[in-house]
Amino acid sequence: MAQRTVAIGSSVGLHARPAALFVEAAQETGLDVEIGRPGQDAVDATSILGVMALGAKHGEEVVLTADGDGADAALDSLVALLERDLDAEG
């Protein structure tokens, strides 16, 4: 299982628009991807409700995990997405 830790780059955290973009990207991987705070239970990264319920704020770290062929590359692309300020790009 591949794993990455990343700090949320969006200025207002992982909420509506950034969460939706992340969930869409996680779905496109076709893998079982989870996201959570370090030391806490992870949620399905393809669930908008689960991702938004994390309440991850700007600068907070989250842990991504994925299993399957291409998991490392998929997580690298998801990390790159989360590191960006998706609100500013809107």
Residue-range domains of the chain with CATH = 2-83 (3.30.1340.10)
Tell me if residue 2 falls in helix, strand or coil: strand
Q: Which residue out of 8, 9, 13, 15 is catalytically annotated?
A: 15
3-state DSSP: the chain helix, strand, coil percent, rounded to 5?
40, 20, 40
DSSP 55: -
The confidence band for 16, taking pLDDT boundaries of 50, 70 and 90, is: confident
- List, for residues 20-48, the tens digit of each pLDDT value: 999 999 999 999 999 999 999 999 999 99
User: Can 58 be counted among the known catalytic residues?
Assistant: no
